Amino acid sequence: MKHEAAYRRLKTVEGHIRGIERMLEENAYCIDVLRQIQAVQAALHKISALVLDEHLHTCVIAAIRSEDVQERERVLNEILDIFEAFQKL
């Protein structure tokens, strides 16, 4: 599997989300719920980094080595777009 590490982490996040659902159903202390949400957000950021790393080491390298100038520009623009999107978070 191409994104094996990211997939494993995502399954862990899925379990944390279920835990947050239970906490809300049981009217857990709000700060405890917020801490769990922050943990999920941090885990998702790590997953994003793993996927981006994989992309840079596969798709981007292939595009840069390609003779297709338009493909190189397209891939570089995608990277710029994703960084801009992350800045808005």
| pTM exceeding the 0.85 threshold for the entire prediction | no
- C-alpha 27/C-alpha 9 separation (Å) is 27
Q: Which two tokens stand for residue 39?
A: 């943990």
Residue 67, by phi and psi: left (phi above 0), alpha (psi -120 to 50) or beta? Answer: alpha
pLDDT of residue 1: 60
For domain 4-88, the CATH superfamily is Metal-sensitive repressor, helix protomer (1.20.58.1000)
- The 10s digit of each residue's pLDDT in 2-45 is 789 999 999 999 999 999 999 999 999 999 999 999 999 999 99
